[in-house]
Amino acid sequence: MKYTGCIIEESLSDKSIVNEFEIIEEINDDGIMWVVETDESRLDDILPKLQSAMVEAPIWYCDLKCDDYHYIIYNDKIFKVNRDCGEQYEKQRNTDSKEVFRNVNYQMPLGQSDYGLVN
């Protein structure tokens, strides 16, 4: 199974992580955004690398999804959400991560299109 997602150049401290993915599209519109793809078999290896390649501030997230699951990756936390289970999105949206994210609630997207990302 393939996972597809978006990575915004500005969200990365180590841009070489993009080379770990197949780049489907590069969009240069007030900054670079890559639409990327990877096999499910690579997720255990690639998710921690992507997480550690992200900047610490401001708060950014990257995401990867397939038909069944949606991974939302922050620099210090990774969420896995069943896409058929809207209450999982709601639960993550209300997750208070004070000790991890300096008194900021994680704001989980309801859908990528709501944030201008490829759906």
Query: Using one digit for the tens of pLDDT, what is the confidence trace for 57-80?
Result: 878 889 999 999 999 898 888 888
Tokens at 89, concatenated: 């999105």
- The dihedral built from the CA positions of residue 92, 106, 40 and 38, taken in this order, carries a sign that is positive
Residue 48: what residue type?
P
Q: Which two tokens stand for residue 118?
A: 């490829």
CA distances (Å), 82 to each of 60, 70, 93, 107, 118, in order? 21, 6, 14, 17, 18
pLDDT at 116 over 50: no
pLDDT, mean of residues 43-55: 96
> pTM of the full predicted structure?
0.76
Contact (Cβ atoms closer than 8 angstroms) between residue 21 and residue 33: no
**The Cα angle at residue 27 between residues 22 and 32, in degrees rounded to 5:** 90
The confidence score (pLDDT) of residue 105 equals: 43
Helices and strands in the chain, H and E counts: 3, 6
